[in-house]
Structure 1
Amino acid sequence: MTMIAASAKIHPLAVVEDGAVVGENVVIGPFCCVGPKVVLHDEVELLPHAIVTGLTVIGRGCSIFPNAVIGGDPQSLHHDGVETTLTVGEKCTFREGVTVNTGTTGGGGKTVIGNNNLFLANSHVAHDCILGDNIVLSNSVMLAGHVIVEDRVIIGGGSAVHQFTRIGRQAFIGGLSGAANDIIPYGMLHGIPGVLNGLNVVGMSRAGMDKATIHRVRRAYKQIFESEGAIRSNAAAIRDEYADCAPVIEILDFIAADSDRALSSPGRGKG
């Protein structure tokens, strides 16, 4: 049975299928389609021609623009048709033509998006991706399946991210780049194939990191990536030196973690 709050505003030319849950002050414009297993929390707005389908939950205050398709089936040859999920947090904006897919059975069965994220026109989030908060995907960014994007990441227009790649917190990927390997927290990546090109110092400063801490992170970066020896060995060797510096420890933990991908580096091979 459809549950529609009395305060919701649904255009007569919209289709809200039986079984959908529509919260308080939701606005659904003309020619929108809302599937039977969709939950739209309070204050969600669907502009004309937006589609929300699948077993999908959209958090409070999200906006979905024309021709976006949120909750479509995964684009995977291994998808077995079993119902999987998409969960979106609060205050996310999906601009024109954005596509976001549900998960796959083999990949955990869920795609998860956090809060306050901005997806610009024609960007794509594939099956089983896990995204944090305050992320920006610029126009035509493509995330393949199983990608993990941590908080405050910015990805420039036209960039593509390989499946199973991890992107660390507050990393920056320049436009028209190809991210085929993991990117450390605070890292900057440019080019095809993508090469690590220092740290996102501007983003670190804007996030409130003080100059002394930024200086220590930059010094640690040089020790890890510019010293002789393997990246992971270099990272392990400096852990005690930076035990009191949380951002450096964050980078070291990221490097030490298990992953399906190699580490992006400044022109070197696998870490």
Structure 2
Amino acid sequence: MTESIKRIVAVASGKGGVGKSTVTANLALAMAAKGKRVGVLDADIYGPSQAQMMGVDANTRPKIIDEKTMLPIEAHGIKLMSMAFLTDIETAMVWRGPMVSGAFQQLLNQTQWGELDYLFIDMPPGTGDIQLTLAQKVSVSGAVIVTTPQDIALLDARRGIEMFRKVKVPVLGVVENMSTHVCSQCGHNEPIFGDGGGQRIAEQYQTPLLGQLPLSLAIREQSDGGRPTVIADPEGTTFETFSSIVHQIDDSLNAAGDQTSGPSISFE
């Protein structure tokens, strides 16, 4: 049910633990704050986290329309679909790659998304078989790469950029998360994971550094509590950063031209 989705944006990282899901949730909410119709697909089948971040109860289940169609869950004005809505919170997805790919296609295609300007896909970490399959199955408008400044994360971020380039998905830019640590007591900033890493990788691949986000206790608490920073602190500097990022994404895709007929989905 993707015919009415105007643009699909993948949010990816070369490795886990860089805050990709937090960035995805806040990008979606920031885009919705600009008046766009937005959805989020949690494609991290093994470790879905968008349900908790969006404050959806663990026992929530989607309404089934018929044997092959379901309605997305709505939270904070966002349409949301995740494996978390189809399994118990304690269930481990002990699946091989083809099963995960099939689950992703079902979550995407069997959800009645309705009219959307943007669907953000929170992709699983890494650049293996699963990520390649997802990229090949969906006509993605562009990808946002999330990294931290440390060298190990930057190595994996490079692999993420190379993966999208190989499958001819435009890389819209890099978001550097945990750029500096903000002390909750005195407000002192310190680049504990290194300095300037996001800028260097953006320059290397000639793609924009969309924004730099702090390592902040408040951001973690807000995400864990089901109220991401964009809605929990709409007057803060982090909101301004996310607002700037989605503005750049929208401008970039406007310049590239709209998909008037919506994305096409192919199956093998």
Higher RCO (Cα < 8 Å, 6 or more apart): 2
Q: Give TM class, smaller chain.
A: under 0.3
Q: Which has the higher strand share?
A: 1
TM-score by length of 1: 0.21
Which one has a bigger Cα radius of gyration?
Answer: 1
